[in-house]
Amino acid sequence: MKKGNKKATEDLQSLMNIGPAIAKRLYAIGITTPVQLRKSNPEEIYEKLKQKEGGVLNKCVLYVLRGAMLNAPWWVCRNWKGNKK
């Protein structure tokens, strides 16, 4: 992994619920900073990740994204809808 990629994925992992695998997936769709992720719509990011994965992605990834945005455990965010953009 290139130095810039490694730094970006490490930075993303500073958010609650974001581990190495999710950080790499986020980086692959252009999400490179925690601020960028927090300003994004989790449903839109989930759909981009799902598309990149060939149309199949566990719904828990959406909860992880919501949790990262709210700084909350992923399981708390299952029913959260948030502000739709």
Specify if 59 maps to a domain: yes
Specify if 82 maps to a domain: no
For residue 42, what pLDDT band results from cuts at 50, 70 and 90? very high
Question: What's the CATH code of the domain at 20?
Answer: 1.10.150.20
Quote the mean pLDDT of the chain. Answer: 89
Count of CB atoms situated within 10 Å of the CB of 50? 16
Taking only the tens place, the pLDDT of each residue in 43-70 is 999 999 999 999 999 999 999 999 999 8
For residue 84, what pLDDT band results from cuts at 50, 70 and 90? very low
d(CA 34, CA 3) in angstroms, rounded, equals: 17
Q: Structural domain of residue 15, as residue ranges?
A: 3-77
Q: Which of 45, 71, 66, 67 is nearest to 57 (CA)?
A: 45
Reported pTM: 0.84
d(CA 47, CA 5) in angstroms, rounded, equals: 22
